[in-house]
């Protein structure tokens, strides 16, 4: 499938819906909002489906236009962004009922669940794929679209520090600066600002952090009770897993967060300087992601989930 096929579908469709993965991060939000703005430049009004909008990204243009729709039947085209599989897609019902579907993503574990799938696993962010796509479509990337794209690139590269960053990442970013995008401001808002509740969650997670298997595995967790006690907001758990990976000698950092009773969302990161593929480990549990950052959902108590994960991680460290 080529970019031209995508452009044809976008031009033909009248009613378009845009969506991304659950618990959306900066790349998911940036991708949806930039796509909505780009479609607007093509003369198309698109609906964006977001059930949990992190307040961190409320400064982005178009953030206030996000609302829940009810008429699932009406879409000619559904576009899924930054989402590897249907089960993590928020608004799956809209996607499944749409006449045509497009998947644009950068996860190596993408299940290719659209009519058209445009997946580049070496792209550091879905937003970077979109930047190239909009350029190819001759859509002017203005300050508004550019700010959304920069948000995805900055968050998914940990502020340009992950090994996924390429010369192209900086070239796109340089172009965004020329367009007037304030990279420093976005960087500080999305990576350098903590809500107090986020700090309190981090404090609890750090107090509980255990180093297992000769200090090669960092493990910690957060329960619903913690989130209630600190009055956690949507997105407050983001970034906690990164702290374990920066400890010297740690090969895999694991953070688990209670989703519902006896069900945990797992976040896994490869330690600095290792070549462990955490996506392969998460795949064993029905999850996936990227080689150095991945996730899954695992059933059990904290101790049970920990045991299951450590058993798999031990095989590769």
294 counts as binding ligand AMP under rule CB under 6 A: yes
Cβ–Cβ contacts within 10 Å for residue 240, how many? 22
Q: Output the smallest distance, CB 177 to ligand AMP, in A.
A: 25
Stretch that binds ligand AMP, among 44-52, 136-144, 201-209, 288-296 (CB under 6 A): 288-296
The yes or no reply on residue 289 touching ligand AMP (CB under 6 A) is yes
Minimum separation from the CB atom of position 18 to ligand AMP (A): 17
Q: Which is nearer to ligand AMP, 189 or 237 (CB)?
A: 237
The tokens describing 113, both together, are: 């669940």
Residue 26 DSSP SS3? helix
Which of Mn ion, ligand AMP, none lies near 294, with the C-beta cut-off 5 to 8 A by kind?
A: ligand AMP
Cα–Cα nearest to 243, from 265, 211, 279: 211
| Candidate residues 13, 16, 20, 21; the one interacting with ligand AMP per rule CB under 6 A | 21
- The answer to whether 288 contacts ligand AMP (rule: CB under 6 A) is yes
Query: Least distance (Å) from ligand AMP to the CB of residue 255?
Result: 7
Angle between helices 183-191 and 143-156 (to 10 degrees): 50
Q: Which of 295, 305, 306, 313 binds ligand AMP (CB under 6 A)?
A: 295
Spatial distance between the Cα atoms of 282 and 296, rounded to a whole number of angstroms: 6
Which position among 287, 292, 298, 309 is part of the footprint of ligand AMP (CB under 6 A)? 287
Q: Tell me which residue of 296, 299, 259, 253 sits closest to 276, measured CA to CA.
A: 253
- Quote the DSSP letter at residue 122: T
- Widest CA span of the chain, in angstroms? 58
Which positions touch ligand AMP (CB under 6 A)? 21, 84, 88, 107, 109, 241, 267, 287-290, 293-297
């Amino acid at each position: 499938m080529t970019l031209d096929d995508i452009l044809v579908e976008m031009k033909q469709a009248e009613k378009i819906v845009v969506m991304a993965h659950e618990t959306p991060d900066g790349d998911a939000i940036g991708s949806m909002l930039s796509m909505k703005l780009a479609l607007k430049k093509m003369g198309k009004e698109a609906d964006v489906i977001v059930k949990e909008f992190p307040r961190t990204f409320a400064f982005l243009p178009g953030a206030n236009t996000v609302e829940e729709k009810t008429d699932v039947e009406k879409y000619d085209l559904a576009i899924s962004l930054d989402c590897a599989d249907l089960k993590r897609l928020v608004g799956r019902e809209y996607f499944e009922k749409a006449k045509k579907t497009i998947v644009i993503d950068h996860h190596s574990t993408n299940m290719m669940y659209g009519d058209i799938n445009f997946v580049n696993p070496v792209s550091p962010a879905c937003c970077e794929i979109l930047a190239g796509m909009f350029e190819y479509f001759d859509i002017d990337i203005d300050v508004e679209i550019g700010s959304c794209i920069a948000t995805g690139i900055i968050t998914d590269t940990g502020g340009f520090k992950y090994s996924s960053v390429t010369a192209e990442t900086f070239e796109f970013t340089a172009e965004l600066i020329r367009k007037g995008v304030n990279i420093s401001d976005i960087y500080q808002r999305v990576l350098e600002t903590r809500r107090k509740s986020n700090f309190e969650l981090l404090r609890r997670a750090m107090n509980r952090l255990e180093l297992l298997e000769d200090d090669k595995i960092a493990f910690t967790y957060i329960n619903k009770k913690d989130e209630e006690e600190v009055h956690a907001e949507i997105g407050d758990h983001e970034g906690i897993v990164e702290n374990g990976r920066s400890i010297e000698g740690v090969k895999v950092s694991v953070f688990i967060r209670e989703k519902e009773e006896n069900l945990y969302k797992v976040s896994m990161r490869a330690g600095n300087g290792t070549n462990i593929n955490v996506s392969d480990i998460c795949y064993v549990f029905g999850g996936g992601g990227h080689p150095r950052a991945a996730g899954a959902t695992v059933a059990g108590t904290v101790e049970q989930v920990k045991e299951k994960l450590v058993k798999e991680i031990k095989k590769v460290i």
